[in-house]
Structures are given as C-alpha cells and as structure tokens.
C-alpha cells in the first residue's frame, strides 16, 4: 500500500498526551492542522510548537461532551474544507473509588458518551463528507483494553471495545468507496490519564513513540495499529481464553478493582 500524505489533518483530544504528540508528528510546512481540545492553555502550547514546525494551525477549544458545540465544530471544518485525515482521539478514563467495586454512575455515563457516542457521531458526519468527495481517512483511537475488559476500568474497556468493533466494521463498509478507516489500539502511554489508572502498566511507551507508530501505520493504511507488540499479543491471548481463566490471571498480575 503506497504512503498517504494528508495536507489537512484534524485531531480531537489534541491537548492530551497522544493527541499533542500526534499533532507535533504531523507538523510540517504546507500542512494545516485543526486541533480540538478542552484544555485551551495546553492546546495553545501544542499549536505554538506546530506553527514553529511550519504548519498552519487552527485551534478549537471545544468540549465534545457539549453535543451542540461538538457538532457545530465538526460542521465548521467540513464546510470549510473536508480534512484528508481525521483522528478521533478525544477520550477520558474513570475508575471506582477506593474500596468500591463499581464506578460512579455519572462518571461512567460521561465516559461512555465521550469515548463512544460522540466518537460515533463525529465519525458519521466526517465519513459522509468524505464519501461525497470520494476519498479520505479516519482513525479511531481505541485501546488494547478492548481485547479484554479490565476489572479496574470496566466502562473504559467497554467504550474502547465498542470503538474497535465499530471502526473495523466501518473499514469494511467504506473501503470500496475510497474512505480508509483505521483503529488505533495503544497500550500504556505515559500521560496524566495513564498515571491515574490503577494497576500495573507494563511496556509503558512515551507519547512521542506512540505518535511515530500511529503515523507510520496510518501512512500505510493499516486496519489495526496495535502496540507495543508484546502487550498486544498478551491482550489478544487473554481475549481468547475462557473468561474466568483470564480474570484469574489478571488478578494475579495486579489488575483488580480498587
């Protein structure tokens, strides 16, 4: 598959670790970056770095949990010029409070809304615009947690499993019409969100390492960009095991509810 070099790239969650590193990985002269995030100060810092690298940068301090604002944001950029590549990276994680086995209902609902429902809604609108044009590329950020639900983070695991299944299905549906879809499945990437997660964090990678692997995989139109290799192999193996065996192994490895 020949390399694909997008001229206009839209990244959601660009104020977070992976999104910021990915924006900087794509920052080059002649490329326009549309960067969305909730933390406007952090987003402006990313934008400044990308401008220094030669890119034109448009900053969008939009909260994607505000449905009307989220849809208005995506419509603005589809009306202006449909991006060549859209990376739906925005997401959050929650876990149960110490001594509790179940996450707070409101927190879990907000997570599922952002990670799954708004990802699907933005994908739907972007995909229709790309279909009308006859080409484009969309990447959905899932997680290796999609392979096997982790007891410390059940809602997060569920949301990323949904994103994985949806993205893989849409890859098959849209490929014949010129729209490329990839699912990104990182393991543990150094970030405040990762630091806050309970449990061990094997094979931890830096945001810059993650961004390089993602850009490399997208340039080759890979359907599933999963890393690091050994952790990806392990989670896939867990997903194939009888569930009680897998859960027993996870407990022994230190993955248990707080």
DSSP assignment of 164-213 equals: HHHHHHHHHHHGGGTEEEEEEEE--B-SHHHHHS-S--TT-B-HHHHHHH
pLDDT interval class at 1 (50, 70, 90): very low
pLDDT tens by residue, 29-68: 999 999 999 999 999 999 999 999 999 999 999 999 999 9
Q: What is the mean pLDDT of the chain?
A: 94
The H or E element spanning position 46 is helix 40-52
Distance CA 2, CA 180 (A): 13
Q: How confident is the model at residue 2 (pLDDT cuts 50, 70, 90)?
A: very low
* Residue 82 pLDDT greater than 90, yes or no: yes
155-173 pLDDT per residue, tens: 999 999 999 999 999 999 9
Residue 199, pLDDT > 90, answer no
Quote the CA–CA distance of 117 and 91 in Å, as a whole number.
11
pTM of the model: 0.94
């Amino acid at each position: 598959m020949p390399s694909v070099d997008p001229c206009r790239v839209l990244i959601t969650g660009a104020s977070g670790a992976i999104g910021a590193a990915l924006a900087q990985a794509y920052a080059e002269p002649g490329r326009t970056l549309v960067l969305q995030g909730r933390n406007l100060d952090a987003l402006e810092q990313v934008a400044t770095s990308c401008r220094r690298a030669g890119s034109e940068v448009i900053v969008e301090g939009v909260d994607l949990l505000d449905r009307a604002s989220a849809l208005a944001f995506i419509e603005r950029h589809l009306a202006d010029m449909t991006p060549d590549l859209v990376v739906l990276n925005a997401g959050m994680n929650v876990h149960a409070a110490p001594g509790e086995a179940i996450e707070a209902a409101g927190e879990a609902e907000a997570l599922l809304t952002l990670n799954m429902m708004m990802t699907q809604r933005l994908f739907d609108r972007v995909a229709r615009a790309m279909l009308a044009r006859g080409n484009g590329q969309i990447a959905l950020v899932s997680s290796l947690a999609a392979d096997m639900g982790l007891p410390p983070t059940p809602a997060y695991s569920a949301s990323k499993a949904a994103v994985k299944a949806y993205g893989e299905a849409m890859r098959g549906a849209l490929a014949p019409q010129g729209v490329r879809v990839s699912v990104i499945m990182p393991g543990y990437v150094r970030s405040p969100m990762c630091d806050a997660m309970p449990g061990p964090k094997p094979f931890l990678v830096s945001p810059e390492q993650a961004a390089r692997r993602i850009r490399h995989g997208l340039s080759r139109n890979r359907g599933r960009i999963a890393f690091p290799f050994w952790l990806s192999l392990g989670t896939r193996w867990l997903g194939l095991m009888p569930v009680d065996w897998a859960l027993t192994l996870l407990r022994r490895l230190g993955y248990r509810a707080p």
